[in-house]
Structure 1
């Protein structure tokens, strides 16, 4: 009570609660709205018995007083409340007892009073009492409302259930990601928890706050920021003592166990029950009914997540999903659709769910169309991001200076070029500095000047170089494709490099075409017509970058490589004008592909005759 009494701003909360209730419940407005006209009589005036209202009472006995000079209501009074077992109808007796015992007001059989008197204020008074009760309960410390879970260990059956649920350990994935990216520079990223968007997400006063989408272009530090948020939140007391639970998942398109919706839910649930073993009951009952089948069902897993986040569990669940755009498109849509349907404004039960989602991804339109009604923020719009980038560059240059013994001039030049070419991307700085680590001091500036400016150009350069440099090291090439392949747009230059690879051109080409198919699929959506202008332009740019022609030079390079030509004809025959040279270079499987697709492909007349001749020869050879 002392907290409410000392804080004048807190007294305004009752008015806001009442306004929210009346705003969302039209049928209550007439019964519970604050009366605008009322008559106040002197306490000594005896009213007519059994009268339904005061229309016949003596107006000369009215008490006139000025309205309160405050800009908010209801007004909270603080004092002692007397409790009685009889209806208090005599105003003089009431005031005398209150004066003698220093009482603020009386609480008694109000229901009996309402049966006898028609009260103009009854509806508004009831709503006000409920609003004040809600407000008072909202500031009661959580530790007094929630009991710490008693359960701390799993029995054998629960352990078996947990093993069946396991698909990946997000904490290990986080640590592996940190090792690969490197630790963030000191004094960076921690500011994110002080931002209003994060504060709203953690408190979640309205449905918009329960989901926060942080987006950014490749290399702008989304995953590093997600790691930072996870580690800082887990260190807070409310997460340490079990009042809140933080679960997280780091998606990765190159790892099947980390790129599906079911994997995400399994990873989140694994962490939830590990932190709060008392919530295992929600998992165990479903597992007993359906065994491992429930863990392969998105709907089954989602229902378990909802069960753990119901009001009765008295625990707030906070889920951070990083790089959602690296999930396959079907899983991405499935998860986003379910999250928005469950926590969206159209679901009246959303307020009963104690679940919060924070999602990071690239600013793809196919993600925005699900999350448009919730809070979102472009990470690069925070001015602190550029400050963090400068700190990172300073750290990297200091390390390089020690390793390669840079002079002051070289260190200064390297720092300036990094700032100029990075275009706000942390990953560009990391890749460029990795290249510099293998270069002598006198070549550092020259090497850095030769690197393309911006991340997309750098990716293209790295992939193209890798395709040519590692012809006899297939595994290295595949690792580079897996590591960077999801970050750049496929071009004719990449295809040409793959076709010219003398060792594994067919497999490399197949992977590049798979990536291009994913890019094209990601931009196909029947709801295009409803997109905002800005989102539509971004989508059109992405589509344009995801489409290219199979050029004549690519075909000529592939003509004498039967396996490569087979892949091209199998995946892109409709984009190729089939010439006599192509038919002549095709192996038996490619010939069969051409023959089967004859009606769908663009084939010249002489090539068609050549195809028939070769197919006849192929048939005789088979006989």
Structure 2
């Protein structure tokens, strides 16, 4: 038939994909020829024809393109070529959102109709995405996302709304014949029947939201099954419902976005909050410029269970409805409508919108990537749990006076250290109280402002905070700081996180050292400030355990590190620094030590600072010396006296200034100045002697707590501590609390300070006031033998700890209230502290303190009373309190014998046993199964023997998994060799398979934890060196695999010498060789290979050793494995191949290495199908380029995302998308082969990868939601 001129077409019909385009053409009453001409810049493909008297233009989006911006571009070109179009239809397929309110099934139709004041289409990615974090492990991370949808778009034009209302009325009265219309089309065109007919209703499966489809290459029936427990229960539609109403038609809100909705959890949330019926990807690009109606046939449920089985029928259903709708519209009425092109500014608006949308798409893509990076970074931060050194930094700045530290910042040594082209060291040492920490903060502030000295890392060792006293925590802080300061994400840190079971395990100190070293190598140059080395508890040992050897290692490595440290002049620090700087100076032109890299902070250097500090304090209004402001000669006298005697000690000067505040007239001032103590010791002795008798008990108690506690006290805790009466009948009464909390400093002025501290952001943030000893020298003095006799007795460790324990127990015994733990914490601030620490103090003192024993006995014998229950609901000592906040209230805690044994309280254990305690009682709410296991885990050998002598079952295990499973495994895990021998001598089953978490036997536990003596002891007692884990989902299978994964070289040799099978298979890691390779232990890999390890053995999550090493990024191990004959193209494991593993992780050099060794660039298999898709998914553009240059098939099909282009586009990686498109990538979903379904497509995932994916919910190894 001849084609009418272009001016004759009044209806525009838009299709997104080929299936929709085919369906639309089938419902034309007559088909016209091609348009004689089109606009110069029109890139659309058109089919022209007639429906119900309307001349209709049907257009399709370009192959491989979809989304809002593409739809808008199609409209723009259509209106240039067909300027007389008056109305539009967007007809095709979409994803349904079934809710209790809307029973939407596959094959149904959703029409975008105005509801609740909105226009029928909601653009949900135009809203704001508020990112929150669900910190509970195992939760789908998308549950932490909340969308605020603000983009309600224009409603359809009145002419279409009127037709819609009329059609809906007719359908309600008489039903419809859409299904018959589809059948008639298929009878006329039988070739379409296979793809476009209605599938069997049994194929309509709605999976529960938490069920994730784990394989893209198989249908849901094969992959997810039809287990009713996975499916949403829905009654079948009755024949009455079906008659004249098949498919069902729903009217309401359609949600449109630029990305495919594949997340059931977000789908449900949006559907519930906004009453959404359907999700699609194009309509929002039309509604504000193109007056149209959106019609969607439902082909899936907008979740991960995408399938093409229903797409053909859904497209037919939507097209059939669209034709029915046009039959309701009188052509003359359409002709009377205004041309869309006549709407003022519409074409320019569409043009502008196309450009804006493309910009918005890029911005949204960037935002999504930024949010994803931030979420991952925050997750790693929570896992690292690094203490916050900024509190020390700010405290130092607050105590600094103007000009402090200038002598050092202007020094030649500092300048040379800062600007050296090679590694450099400065060590500043000085006497107690000379201002080292203040100087550190001054240096950090100076370097922070210098762009040339970045990245800057810093850490303060702190005697008041146990979290800031070890090498391990220092490493955590430096790694966290460097991670946030690097321009690119730290692949090394992410690799460490992955190797620790995605954060479900903690890294070793050794692995932290190695990770920091590699991160420093990535940064190329770093500046590190470490304050107060003398306050570190782990100074000696190996380079992965001790601070000083670690310093030696990094300074004599090939990395460029500028390290500045401060400390007292301690012998071990002096000796070690002199030694390793001597070694460094012999290294060939690497380490540059200035001749004066060791700088004593002498009084002559800091005299100006101290003088300025004294003058500032004397003349400061709020210093307490303002009474002398009208007597400048007296102020000068004070200054001269203090300056003359300070001798380089800020701390000494501060204490004298505090004492002078009490001088109310000149005579007492003169007398005090004439009798100033010469040293800090004399100063502290005078302060203690000056405490009034009525304040002495409270002062001693505060000082005892602060001297021997593991942490400072919150000021509210300290107030309650001094209000406790351990001598009377009423141990505590809130009315005896101090009315003015700030006056607590009056008890021991100058020895104690109140500090404002920021709460950990992980528990809500905010600030609180903390009571601390004023200086490390205060604690040193109080624990020395230099105190006066009457003071000394209070601070003998056994006396002080006994006193603290008694106060804690007296306070706990007062808590005879049946209330929640939150109420207890709020009403009794000291309760949490007492519950957590009382046994630590009591264990030390219980044998020498009779009164303490009375309190302990009273506490344990009241195990059925509130104080006992409240204590162990506030804090569970068997899991370090982790569960106390998750399960805060338990009706009945574990029995007293369990907690007494756990805490190492020998006399109470004897007392409880003598009074009939059941030695084998199960600790139902305990982490360990009984008292014997608790004592064995904590290393209490005397209690262990006592329990065994009273008949404790040495092989008892719980019915459910406890932390260790058995007493023998507990002792073996924790390294208690004496207890291990004791248990074995009492008949412990050396080969018992335990139900505890982590390890499955005593030998496996000892081997993994590095306890060589215990490992040998167990072997000598008959431990099966080749015992294997029966459960394939366990982390390790056998002791050798566990030892290899933890880097225990000596133990590996021991196990091999005792006949360990080097090729034993099983467990998550598959083999010992794979377990060592994934952690990067090169020497162990070599050791195993030399003992005959099969380099190509397959099994485990990573498939083989080569893939494991590629996941870790261990280039030298990869070379070692390849040199030993590793098959570079082996197909196995989650990633399918080593090349795919390296590609998804972003290791460019390893990808190149594998390719150079013959890795098949187009090898198929694994979770991502091929290496190109893996690299595209992870946004590694340079690797994509590298793979393409080696012949990667840019349109290869398979894997999670079908193709590399899909992987990049669906994750918002626009750079990779542009690269792929420029090289010829296209969308396989829009290919010409319309007859092939997913089930027919020749796509393969390795069986191992498929099996691993299907079992991911049990393993909890991966989070598939990106």
Q: TM-score if structure 1 supplies the norm length?
A: 0.51
Shift of 1:452: 1.3
C-alpha spacing 1:405/1:229, structure 2 compared with 1 (3 Å): same
1:335 aligns with 2:547: yes
Size of the alignment, in residue pairs? 355
Distance 1:253 1:371 in 2: 22
Which whole-Å CA distance do the structure 1 matches of 2:626 and 2:393 have between them? 28
Pick aligned residue for 1:303 from 500, 514, 529: 514
Structure 2 residue aligned with 1:200? 416
The structure 2 residue matched to 1:235, chosen from 445, 449, 456, is 449
Does residue 405 of structure 2 align to residue 189 of structure 1? yes
Q: Report the 3-state secondary structure (helix = DSSP H, G, I; strand = E; otherwise coil) of the residue aligned with 2:598.
A: strand
| Post-superposition CA distance 1:361-383 (Å, at most 9, x none) | 00111101111043533343484
Structure 1 partner of 2:575: 369
The answer to which structure has the higher helix fraction is: 1
Listed as ranges, the matches of 1:358-437 within 5 Å are 358-372=564-578, 373-374=580-581, 376-381=597-602, 383-399=604-620, 400=623, 403-406=626-629, 407-437=631-661
Following superposition, the deviation at residue 504 of structure 1 comes to: 10
Cα distance change, pair 504–187 in 1 and its aligned pair in 2 (3 A): closer
Residues 261 and 220 of structure 1, relative CA distance in 2, 3 Å threshold: same
- Pairing 1:488–2:781 present: yes
State the partner residue of 1:8. none
Whether the 8 Å CA contact 2:386–2:476 is kept in 1: the answer is yes
CA distance in 2, matches of 1:321, 1:415: 33
Larger radius of gyration: 2
Alpha-carbon separation, structure 2, partners of 1:490 and 1:342: 35
Structure 2 match to 1:357: 563
Q: Distance in 2 between matches of 1:272 and 1:334?
A: 21
The aligned residue for residue 169 of structure 1 is 388
1:278 to 478, 484, 488: 488
Alpha carbons of structure 1 residues 282 and 503: separation in structure 2 relative to 1, 3 Å: closer
Q: 1: CA distance between counterparts of 2:576 and 2:793?
A: 42
**Residue 158 (str. 1) matches residue 372 (str. 2):** no
Deviation (angstroms), 1:235: 0.8
**CA deviation profile, 1:402-427 (whole Å, cap 9, x unmatched):** 62235233212211221132121111
1:218 deviation in Å? 0.7
Structure 1 residue 501 displacement after superposition? 4.6
Q: Are the equivalent residues in 2 in contact too, given 1:467–1:501 (CA < 8 A)?
A: no
Of 800, 803, 808, the residue aligned with 1:507 is 800
Counterpart check, 1:249 vs 2:426: no
The structural deviation recorded for 1:507 is 1.3
Query: CA offset at residue 293 of structure 1?
Result: 7.3
User: 1:36-82: per-residue Cα shift (whole Å, max 9, x none)?
Assistant: xxxxxxxxxxxxxxxxxxxxxxxxxxxxxxxxxxxxxxxxxxxxxxx
Residue 297 and residue 459 in structure 1: after superposition, are their counterparts in 2 closer, same or farther (change >3 A)? Answer: farther
Q: Distance in 2 between matches of 1:212 and 1:170?
A: 20
SS at match of 1:252: coil
For the pair 1:457 / 2:750, whether they are aligned, the reply is no
Whether the 8 Å CA contact 1:249–1:268 is kept in 2: the answer is: yes
Unaligned runs of 5+ in 2: 1-368, 582-592, 708-772, 805-847, 854-905, 911-1266
- For the Cα contact (< 8 Å) 2:528–2:563, is it kept in 1? yes
Contact 2:628/2:635, CA 8 A, preserved across alignment: no
Distance verdict in 2 for CA 1:501–1:187, change over 3 Å: closer
Instruction: Give the structure 2 partner of residue 54 of structure 1.
Output: none
Following TM superposition, by how much is the alpha carbon of 1:166 offset from its aligned partner in structure 2, in angstroms? 2.8
| Corresponding residue number in structure 1 for 2:476 | 266
For 1:275 and 1:233, locate their aligned partners in 2 and report how far apart those are by CA, in whole Å: 14
CA distance in 2, matches of 1:360, 1:194: 18
Partner-residue secondary structure (3-state), 2:431: coil
Distance 2:706 2:664 in 1: 24
Closer, same or farther: CA 465–265 of 1 in aligned 2, 3 Å: farther
| SS of equivalent residue, structure 2 residue 634 | helix
Unaligned 5+ residue runs, structure 1? 1-150, 345-349, 512-559, 566-587, 593-623
Q: Describe the shift of the 1:272–1:419 C-alpha distance in structure 2 as closer, same or farther (beyond 3 A).
A: same
**Structure 1 residues 436 and 334: CA distance shift in structure 2, 3 A:** same
State the match for 2:432 in structure 1. 218
1:277/1:262 CA distance change after superposition, 3 Å: farther
The answer to whether the aligner puts 1:320 opposite 2:534 as a matched pair is no
Once residues 271 and 471 of structure 1 are traced to their aligned partners in structure 2, the CA distance between those partners, rounded to angstroms, is 44
CA distance in 1 between counterparts of 2:433 and 2:607 reads: 13
In 2, Cα distance between equivalents of 1:386 and 1:274: 38
Tell me the secondary structure at the aligned position of residue 213 of structure 1: strand
Partner of 1:13 in structure 2?
A: none
**DSSP 3-state at the match of 1:220:** coil
Per-residue CA deviations over 1:254-276 (Å, capped at 9, x if unaligned) read 21111111111111222222222
1:476 maps to 2:769: no
* Partners of 2:560 and 2:783 in 1: CA distance: 42
Paired residues of 2:462 and 2:468 also in contact (CA < 8 A) = yes
Query: Shift in Å at residue 450 of structure 1?
Result: 3.6
* Equivalent-residue separation in structure 2 for 1:162 and 1:502 (angstroms): 39
Indicate if the aligned counterparts of 1:495 and 1:509 stay in contact, CA closer than 8 A: no
